[in-house]
């Protein structure tokens, strides 16, 4: 070790000692070393300083109870409506009060739960990790994979319960409605058998339409990325997207049957064209329904996996037909029926409007590199107060490449890496990424040609939506972690590892104490990705607090390259320039819960007020009775409430953000983004963790998981996987196998997947 290297290590240790002297309170092998960050002296049960008060816990418990009660009552009502006795009582109640009560019955519970969710998330916002070390492992429904190979992919126990509930409802509703329809035929004096069958077909189509309405009530909720409902239950958008896919298939199947039964009935009676083109003023208008169904079918067909894989752009552009689908659906059923599904669509509108404003802002690209492994690294500017977790995603648009295409990428940097920047790693695979790489290389300085470093200029314009992700950093709630990555799937795990090391160094709450990283790559030139994180410089003496082991499998090379006996070095510039136009917008639904909650609550109140005023001053005085027209008016009220009331909150939010941003700029950005001294030193000769690189092999997960089970014992092990579908399936199978074959003193493996390709 050179004199310079020795002094550098000493300087790093002295800096940490100066900023956190309480860490250096013991001697180990003649050197100062930090102790376990704990507020108690019991090694078997540690907690952290910040605990919620009794009042906070009580309020949260009450809110949970109220929200669960509303949800269970709502679901129970939906299940019981097909019963003739319940349906009669409910119809009588609607007619005796007001037709607007349908909104209260079907959409009201969703909005009310959303209101309570805002309060719950606000109360929970300042809490730190409060996990205690458990004496034994326990199963969790949402991390226990049950179904592995099937049309739904990997399905956990909690997801299976949801699927079964939908399946039971569909089967139950079809059976009950069929019995009711047959009984209803006896009330009509129809002697001709053919006409009885035609009437039965129409009644069946009608009931399928109602079942489709129930499915559609849930359809838009998973794709409202920043909605408080997803934040409440801790489901990030990349997980919720698959629920939207499932619901989309189910909804379109039922609506197709709904239309098919009517088409067959009308064709039998020879009035098919007449009925399809009918546009009734009172009652259901068929022609708008035909247009809506055609738009839905186009979206459905182009979203099927074979079409989406071959031509993603076709899927993306045809999916914008959802506007046509919703507008003509409102005209098809009218405001009375449309109000049943309004909550999910309204929350989606709120999210889409907020994303529109966020994505208008141009973001500075502080650094852009083309790495030898065929990966592009982008470092972008962000405001200091922007909130996100290590497992975050952002959507990126670069106008020099395309004005229409948005691409999602996982964040490769921890929120603790820097206050003013955020990094992503992009694998060069398709046309868009090839254009990006070519553009960076074309404008790079000659001396940086090998690194492909883009110097500060305005040659690239980036717009960003996000970050999105988990409401809480769930990777910090496991003491034992197994991170399994395939190729560029290592990107989110770099953020996790950096986050953990930062927290250990800064004495922040952090559960993980044992981490195993299993990384499968094709070629050795990808090894530089893992070494982009300088662990020893980031957190010296971390090995006293964290047991880290990295197993890398280079599958397509039998031995290390002869011309390079060492791992390719990753060179990175941390002297980022001062942003000229600022970072990404803070107007994100997953950010400040006060502003996000105010945005939702005020917009909802605005919808109720606008529609009430519309009825008082227009619909009733002018005797507006056309169903399709009232459906459009209701939809216009939804849009107007988002634009007027939601836009008002966004305006205030933006002004507040600008005011705080200027204050932060004056304090922290005098000299730009400062040079990060902790990342200057690279010590390739010493690694305080196990780093095993195996060539020409694939990971044997049964052996790896079995070894960890024997080593760690009766504990909860958080398993996180990011990679191709085959890799996720293999890990899910192994987690299920280990859990089903678990002995009394064995661990429980908790499966968590991070989407590899959205």
- Chain centroid offset of residue 242 CA: 10
Are 536 and 682 in contact, with CB atoms under 8 Å apart? no
> 319-362 pLDDT, tens per residue?
999 999 999 999 999 988 999 999 999 999 999 999 999 888 88
**Token pair 């209701």 is at which residue?**
634
What is the model's pLDDT at position 32? 38
Among candidates 563, 492, 502, 551, which has minimal Cα distance to 527?
A: 551
Among candidates 122, 153, 109, 101, which has minimal Cα distance to 753?
A: 153
> 160-173 pLDDT, tens per residue?
999 999 999 999 99
Q: Could you tell me whether strands 392-398 and 407-410 are parallel, antiparallel, or unpaired per DSSP bridges?
A: antiparallel
Higher pLDDT, 541 or 325: 325
Q: Which residues pair with 691 in a beta bridge?
A: 550
Highest-confidence segment of 433-437, 452-456, 616-620: 616-620
Are 619 and 630 in contact, with CB atoms under 8 Å apart? yes
Among candidates 66, 683, 596, which has minimal Cα distance to 353?
A: 596
Among candidates 364, 358, 407, which has minimal Cα distance to 382?
A: 364
What is the model's pLDDT at position 662? 57
Tokens of 211: 């079942």
Task: Report, in this order, helix, strand and coil percent for the chain, each rounded to 5.
Answer: 55, 15, 35
Are 587 and 657 in contact, with CB atoms under 8 Å apart? yes
pLDDT higher than 60, residue 200: yes
Q: Could you tell me whether strands 547-554 and 514-521 are parallel, antiparallel, or unpaired per DSSP bridges?
A: parallel
Mean pLDDT, the chain, rounded, equals: 81
pLDDT higher than 60, residue 81: yes
Are 278 and 232 in contact, with CB atoms under 8 Å apart? no
Cβ neighbours of residue 181 closer than 8 Å, sequence gap 6 or more: 200, 203, 204, 207
**Interatomic CA distance for residues 400 and 462, integer angstroms:** 9
> 387-437 pLDDT, tens per residue?
788 888 889 988 888 887 888 888 888 888 877 888 888 888 878 888 888
**Interatomic CA distance for residues 712 and 480, integer angstroms:** 8
What is the model's pLDDT at position 251? 96
What is the model's pLDDT at position 519? 92
What is the model's pLDDT at position 741? 87
What is the model's pLDDT at position 38? 35
Among candidates 576, 573, 582, 572, which has minimal Cα distance to 673?
A: 576
**Interatomic CA distance for residues 363 and 345, integer angstroms:** 30
Are 500 and 512 in contact, with CB atoms under 8 Å apart? yes
pLDDT band at 526 (very low <50, low <70, confident <90, very high): confident
3-state secondary structure 151-202: CCCCEEHHHHHHHHHHHHHHHHHHHHHHHHHHHHHCCCCCCCHHHHHHHHHH
pLDDT higher than 60, residue 10: no
Tokens of 227: 């909605």
Q: pTM for this one?
A: 0.85
pLDDT higher than 80, residue 210: yes
**Interatomic CA distance for residues 126 and 122, integer angstroms:** 8
Q: Which residues pair with 27 in a beta bridge?
A: 32
What is the model's pLDDT at position 68? 96
DSSP code string of 466-511: EEEE-SS-GGGG-SEEEEEEEGGGGHHHHHHHHHHHHHHHTT----
Q: Mean pLDDT, to the nearest integer, of 727-732? A: 93
DSSP code string of 515-527: EEEEEEESSGGGG
Tokens of 334: 């009218």
> 699-729 pLDDT, tens per residue?
999 999 999 999 998 899 999 999 888 999 9
DSSP code string of 694-749: EES----HHHHHHHHHHHH-SSEEEEEEES-HHHHHHHHHHHHHHHHT--TT--EE
Coil, strand or helix at 304: coil
Cβ neighbours of residue 416 closer than 8 Å, sequence gap 6 or more: 498, 499, 502, 503, 506, 508
Are 717 and 511 in contact, with CB atoms under 8 Å apart? no
pLDDT higher than 80, residue 297: yes
Q: Long-range contacts of range 696-701, CB-CB < 8 Å, 24 or more positions apart?
A: 696/554, 696/555, 696/557, 696/558, 696/559, 697/553, 697/555, 698/520, 698/553, 698/555, 699/484, 699/518, 699/520, 699/551, 699/553, 701/484, 701/518, 701/730, 701/731, 701/734
What is the model's pLDDT at position 29? 34
Strand residue runs (E) in 22-153: 24-28, 31-34, 145-147
Coil, strand or helix at 449: coil
Cβ neighbours of residue 50 closer than 8 Å, sequence gap 6 or more: 127, 128, 130, 509
Higher pLDDT, 75 or 361: 75
What is the model's pLDDT at position 688? 60
Cβ neighbours of residue 137 closer than 8 Å, sequence gap 6 or more: 714, 715, 716, 717, 746, 747, 748
pLDDT higher than 50, residue 512: yes
**Interatomic CA distance for residues 494 and 491, integer angstroms:** 5
**Interatomic CA distance for residues 413 and 400, integer angstroms:** 25
Are 20 and 505 in contact, with CB atoms under 8 Å apart? yes
Residue-level length of the chain: 758
Coil, strand or helix at 190: coil
What is the model's pLDDT at position 388? 82
Higher pLDDT, 325 or 183: 325
Q: Which residues pair with 397 in a beta bridge?
A: 463
What is the model's pLDDT at position 348? 95
Q: Which residues pair with 516 in a beta bridge?
A: 482, 549
Q: Mean pLDDT, to the nearest integer, of 297-310? A: 90
Are 581 and 365 in contact, with CB atoms under 8 Å apart? no
pLDDT band at 254 (very low <50, low <70, confident <90, very high): very high
Higher pLDDT, 730 or 189: 730
**Token pair 């409802």 is at which residue?**
169
Are 487 and 427 in contact, with CB atoms under 8 Å apart? yes
What is the model's pLDDT at position 11? 44
What is the model's pLDDT at position 71? 95
Helix axes 193-219, 157-185, angle to 10 degrees: 150
Whole-number Cα distances in Å, 319 to 296, 312, 371, 555: 9, 11, 34, 38
DSSP state of 70: H
């Amino acid at each position: 070790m050179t004199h310079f290297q020795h002094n550098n290590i000493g300087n790093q240790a002295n800096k940490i000692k100066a900023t956190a002297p309480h860490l250096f309170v013991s001697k180990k092998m003649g050197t100062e070393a930090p102790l376990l960050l704990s507020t108690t002296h019991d090694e078997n049960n540690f907690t952290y300083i910040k605990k919620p008060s009794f009042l906070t816990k009580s309020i949260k418990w009450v809110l949970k109870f109220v929200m669960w009660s509303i949800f269970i009552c709502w679901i129970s009502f939906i299940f019981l409506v097909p019963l003739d006795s319940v349906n009669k009582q409910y119809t009588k109640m609607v007619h005796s009060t007001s037709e607007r009560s349908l909104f209260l019955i079907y959409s009201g519970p969703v909005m009310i739960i959303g209101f309570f969710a805002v309060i719950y998330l606000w109360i929970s916002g300042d809490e730190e990790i409060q996990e205690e070390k458990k004496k034994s492992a326990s199963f969790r429904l949402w991390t226990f994979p049950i179904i592995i190979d099937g049309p739904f992919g990997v399905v956990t126990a909690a997801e299976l319960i949801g699927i079964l509930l939908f399946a039971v409802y569909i089967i139950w509703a079809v059976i009950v409605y069929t019995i009711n329809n047959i009984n209803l035929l006896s009330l009509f004096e129809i002697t001709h058998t053919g006409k009885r069958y035609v009437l039965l077909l129409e009644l069946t189509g009608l009931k399928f339409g109602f079942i489709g309405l129930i499915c559609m009530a849930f359809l838009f909720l998973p794709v409202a990325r920043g909605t408080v409902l997803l934040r409440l239950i801790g489901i990030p958008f990349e997980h919720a997207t698959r629920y939207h896919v499932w619901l989309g298939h189910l909804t379109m199947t039922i609506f197709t049957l709904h239309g098919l039964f009517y088409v067959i009935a009308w064709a039998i009676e020879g009035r098919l064209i007449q009925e399809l083109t009918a546009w009734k003023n009172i009652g259901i208008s068929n022609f708008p329904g035909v247009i809506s169904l055609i738009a839905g079918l186009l979206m459905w067909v182009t979203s099927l996996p074979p079409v989406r894989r071959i031509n993603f752009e076709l899927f993306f552009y045809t999916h914008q037909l959802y506007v046509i689908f919703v507008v003509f659906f409102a005209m098809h059923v009218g405001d009375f029926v449309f109000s049943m599904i309004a909550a999910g669509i309204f929350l989606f509108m709120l999210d889409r409007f907020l994303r529109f404003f966020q994505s208008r802002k141009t973001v500075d690209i502080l650094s852009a590199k083309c790495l030898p492994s065929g990966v592009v690294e982008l470092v972008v500017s962000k405001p200091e107060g922007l909130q996100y977790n290590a497992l975050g995603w952002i959507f990126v648009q670069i106008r020099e490449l395309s004005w229409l295409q948005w691409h999602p990428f996982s964040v490769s940097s921890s929120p603790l890496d820097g206050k003013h920047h955020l990094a992503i790693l992009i694998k060069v695979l398709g046309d868009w990424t090839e254009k990006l790489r070519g553009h960076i290389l074309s404008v790079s300085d000659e001396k940086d040609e090998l690194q492909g470093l883009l110097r500060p200029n305005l040659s690239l314009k980036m717009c960003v939506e996000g970050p999105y992700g988990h409401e809480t950093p769930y990777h910090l709630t496991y003491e034992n972690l197994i991170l399994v990555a395939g190729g560029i799937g290592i990107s989110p795990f770099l953020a996790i590892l950096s986050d953990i090391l930062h927290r250990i160094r800064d004495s922040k709450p952090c559960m993980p104490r044992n981490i195993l990283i299993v990384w499968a790559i094709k070629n050795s030139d990808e090894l530089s990705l893992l070494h982009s994180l300088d662990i020893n410089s980031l957190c010296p003496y971390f090995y006293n607090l964290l047991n880290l082991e990295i197993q890398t499998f280079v599958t397509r090379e039998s031995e290390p390259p002869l011309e390079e006996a060492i791992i390719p070095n990753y060179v990175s510039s941390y002297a980022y320039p001062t942003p000229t136009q600022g970072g990404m917008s803070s107007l994100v639904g997953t950010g400040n819960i006060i502003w996000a909650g105010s945005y939702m609550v005020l917009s909802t109140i605005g919808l109720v007020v606008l529609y009430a005023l519309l009825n008082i001053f227009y619909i009733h005085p002018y005797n507006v009775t056309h169903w399709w027209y009232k459906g459009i008016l209701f939809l216009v009220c939804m849009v107007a409430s988002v634009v007027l009331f939601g836009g008002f909150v966004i305006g205030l939010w933006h002004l507040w953000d600008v005011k705080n941003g200027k204050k932060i700029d004056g304090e922290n950005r005098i000299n730009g983004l400062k040079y990060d001294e902790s990342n200057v030193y690279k010590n390739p000769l010493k690694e305080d963790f196990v780093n095993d690189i195996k060539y020409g092999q694939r990971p044997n997960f049964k052996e790896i998981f079995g070894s960890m089970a024997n080593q760690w014992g009766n504990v909860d092990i958080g398993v996180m996987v990011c990679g191709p579908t085959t890799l996720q399936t293999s890990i899910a199978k192994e987690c299920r196998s280990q859990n089903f074959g678990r002995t009394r003193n064995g661990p429980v493996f908790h499966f968590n997947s991070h989407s590899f390709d959205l």
